[in-house]
């Protein structure tokens, strides 16, 4: 589809001719069937982010993990049940960087007759925080990888696809919500940006958080919220201020040092019905771009409304470091321009293993017992602790030692897993929104510095249940889940450039013995590579 933004016209990939993509409305426990026909010249696949895919791993969607890409002209039908799930999630392309424009909201209502655990809103709106690029996202990924350096900043940050009035040629490209004075609205927020965490606020109005990552939370009130790519939240906002027009603002939260980014705020409007159109909207404020205090305060306040199935005993205690590496540049490769730190190239790793994407899907390799595609030796502990010096991450850019490979960690069916995620890095530490497929997990602990089991405080009473945890800059998070969904499940940083650099790993969860504890057979239209 041809679109014109920021005085430039460009062709983007869309779903059914709509950008952002059409909303998938459903109810808890619905069976969802989506037939995807690829009419683009590129390989494609769609992931249902946050959908737990109970016994439906074949429909999860990450290319080369659970399926081969849907090739140009091909059709694949995704089929899954929204088993015990409600709230706001989203879908997106899970191949190359196509998700820049290929994404849309999933709204799952409670079952008929089941109310929300908060007062019924008067109305609701979806607010997608995104990034705009006029460059083809496939070329964008390729040129970034060829440079060896950091990804370029987005040309604009967008709210539901609109850059807002602070960008060139965008005075009228502004998203606006009309609010009836006195009424309460449910805003379904999602961050689909490729590479940027984002703050969000509305001038003069508090936000009451009632849901995060598709799970109800104990309500809490904030004036700013931060969402990492892959995170969603539902907030209530009441039009209880004086009759006027108010800015809705999004802007970057940046934790890496020396990173170039677009420091422009994207603005939408929250306009009281009857307020004059000519008045200047009341300005919203956002925290300073590297303010982690706001982020930590949000995280502290985040509590599950109800907790079920939180493992108190642990069968598998895992410790993964996550971070960026710098590798020596291969001067023999004429395609590489080696613009990373010290003339090297960026890589990224978990436990010092930088994930290499296979050429066939891991799920097919596992299901058909193909040899030579992956090895089951992903380390459960860091390969080496070289990047910790006196309890602090060592920032000298001299590591050329990440190990490249397709390694998986195998889990027994039903294993109670605790996973400690430690943020580190040889270049700089920064926060990483870590996303797990096939499960939601309880975030039982969260802190700065290096994880220390003797001082770490855990919440085993009402921890939040999430699918994406923004592991804090230079800090750690501890998550727990029960491995009761058989299949091949990707875990990765949801910052697209970090994923491209190898910041991912794969869990294989074995079948159990019971009738509803096995991976089903593959669908007949599953693409081949």
Q: Assign residue 73 a region (left: φ > 0; alpha: ψ between -120 and 50; beta: otherwise).
A: left
Q: Does 501 sit near ligand C2O (CB under 6 A)?
A: no
Q: Does 379 sit near ligand C2O (CB under 6 A)?
A: no
Name the CA radius of gyration of the chain, rounded: 22
Q: Report the nearest approach of ligand C2O to the CB of residue 433 (Å).
A: 9
Q: Report the nearest approach of ligand C2O to the CB of residue 57 (Å).
A: 13
Q: Does 498 sit near ligand C2O (CB under 6 A)?
A: no
Q: Report the nearest approach of ligand C2O to the CB of residue 453 (Å).
A: 29
Place of tokens 């679109």: 3
CA distances from 372 to 313, 369, 408, 509 (A): 35, 10, 13, 19
Q: Which segment (183-191, 298-306, 490-498, 512-520) binds ligand C2O by CB under 6 A?
A: 490-498
How far is residue 121's CA from residue 131's CA, in Å, rounded to a whole number? 29
Place of tokens 């990047």: 387
The residue number with the shortest CB distance to ligand C2O is 49
Is the CB of 43 or the CB of 170 nearer to ligand C2O? 43
Is the CB of 53 or the CB of 428 nearer to ligand C2O? 53
Distance of CA 440 to the CA centre of its chain: 13
Q: Does 435 sit near ligand C2O (CB under 6 A)?
A: yes
- Residue from 78, 185, 346, 490 in contact with ligand C2O (CB under 6 A): 490
Is the CB of 5 or the CB of 54 nearer to ligand C2O? 54
Distance of CA 17 to the CA centre of its chain: 24
Q: Is 135 exposed, middle or buried (0-12, 13-18, 19+ CB in 10 A)?
A: middle
Three-state SS letters, 122-163: CEEEEEEEEEECCCCHHHHHHHHHHHCCCCCCCCEEEECCEC
- Binders of ligand C2O among residues 230 to 249 (CB under 6 A) are 230
Is the CB of 184 or the CB of 349 nearer to ligand C2O? 349
Is the CB of 10 or the CB of 356 nearer to ligand C2O? 356
- Collapsing DSSP states into helix, strand and coil, what is residue 458? coil
Q: Convert residues 32-71 into a mask of x (bound to ligand C2O by CB under 6 A) and - (unbound).
A: ---------------x-x------------x---------
- Binders of ligand C2O among residues 201 to 230 (CB under 6 A) are 230
- Collapsing DSSP states into helix, strand and coil, what is residue 404? strand
Q: Report the nearest approach of ligand C2O to the CB of residue 86 (Å).
A: 18
Q: Report the nearest approach of ligand C2O to the CB of residue 506 (Å).
A: 11
- Taking 3-state DSSP, the helix, strand and coil percentages for the chain, each rounded to the nearest 5, stand at 10, 40, 55
The angle at the Cα of 65, spanning 64 to 67, to the nearest 5 degrees, equals 65
Place of tokens 């040309």: 155
Query: Cα(first)–Cα(last) distance of the chain, in Å?
Result: 27
Q: Report the nearest approach of ligand C2O to the CB of residue 243 (Å).
A: 40
Q: How many residues bind ligand C2O (CB under 6 A)?
A: 11
Q: Convert residues 89-118 into a mask of x (bound to ligand C2O by CB under 6 A) and - (unbound).
A: ---x-x------------------------
Positions in the binding site for ligand C2O (CB under 6 A): 47, 49, 62, 92, 94, 230, 435, 437, 490, 492, 494
């Amino acid at each position: 589809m041809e679109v014109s933004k920021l005085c430039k016209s460009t062709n983007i990939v869309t779903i059914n001719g709509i950008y952002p993509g059409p909303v998938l409305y459903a109810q808890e426990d619905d069976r969802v069937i989506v037939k995807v026909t690829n009419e683009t010249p590129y390989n494609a696949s769609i992931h249902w982010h946050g959908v737990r895919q109970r016994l439906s791993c074949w429909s999860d969607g990450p290319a080369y993990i659970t399926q081969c890409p849907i090739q140009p002209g091909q059709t694949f039908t995704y089929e899954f049940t929204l088993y015990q799930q409600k709230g706001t999630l989203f879908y997106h392309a899970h191949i190359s960087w196509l998700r820049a424009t290929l994404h849309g909201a999933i709204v799952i209502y409670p079952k008929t007759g089941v109310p929300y655990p908060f007062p019924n809103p008067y109305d609701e709106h979806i607010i997608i925080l995104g990034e705009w690029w006029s460059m083809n996202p496939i070329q964008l990924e390729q040129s970034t990888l060829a440079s060896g350096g950091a990804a370029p900043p987005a040309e604009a940050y967008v709210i539901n696809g609109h850059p807002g009035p602070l960008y060139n040629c965008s005075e009228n490209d502004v998203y606006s919500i009309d609010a009836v004075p006195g009424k309460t609205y449910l805003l379904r927020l999602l961050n689909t940006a490729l590479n940027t965490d984002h703050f969000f606020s509305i001038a003069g109005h508090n936000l009451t958080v009632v849901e995060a990552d598709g799970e109800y939370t104990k309500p809490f009130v904030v004036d700013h919220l931060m969402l990492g790519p892959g995170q969603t939240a539902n907030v209530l906002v009441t039009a209880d201020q004086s009759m006027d027009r108010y800015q809705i603002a999004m802007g970057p939260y940046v934790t890496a040092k020396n990173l170039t980014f677009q420091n422009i705020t994207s603005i939408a409007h929250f306009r009281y019905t009857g307020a004059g159109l000519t008045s200047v909207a009341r300005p919203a404020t956002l925290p300073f771009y590297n303010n982690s205090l706001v982020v930590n305060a949000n995280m502290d306040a985040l509590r599950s409304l109800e907790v079920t199935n939180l493992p108190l005993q642990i069968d598998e205690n895992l410790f993964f470091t996550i971070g960026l590496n710098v590798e020596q540049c291969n001067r023999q490769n004429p395609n590489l321009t080696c613009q990373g730190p010290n003339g090297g190239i960026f890589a990224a790793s978990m436990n010092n293993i930088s994930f290499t994407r296979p050429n066939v899907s891991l799920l097919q390799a596992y299901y058909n017992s193909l040899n030579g595609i992956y090895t089951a030796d992903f380390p459960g502990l860091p390969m080496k602790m070289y990047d910790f010096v006196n309890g602090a991450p060592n920032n000298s850019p001299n590591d050329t030692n990440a190990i490249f490979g397709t390694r998986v960690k195998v889990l027994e069916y039903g294993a109670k897993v605790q996973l400690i995620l430690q943020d580190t890095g040889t270049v700089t530490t920064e926060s990483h929104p870590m996303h797990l497929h096939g499960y939601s997990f309880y975030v039982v602990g969260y802190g700065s510095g290096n994880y220390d089991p003797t001082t770490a405080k855990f919440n085993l009473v009402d921890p939040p249940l999430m699918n994406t945890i923004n592991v804090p800059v230079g800090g750690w998070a501890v998550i727990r889940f029960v491995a009761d969904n058989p299949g091949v499940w990707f875990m990765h940083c949801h910052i697209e450039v970090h994923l491209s650099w190898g910041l991912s790993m794969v869990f294989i969860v074995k079948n159990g013995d019971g009738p509803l504890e096995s991976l089903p057979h593959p669908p007949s239209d599953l693409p081949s590579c």
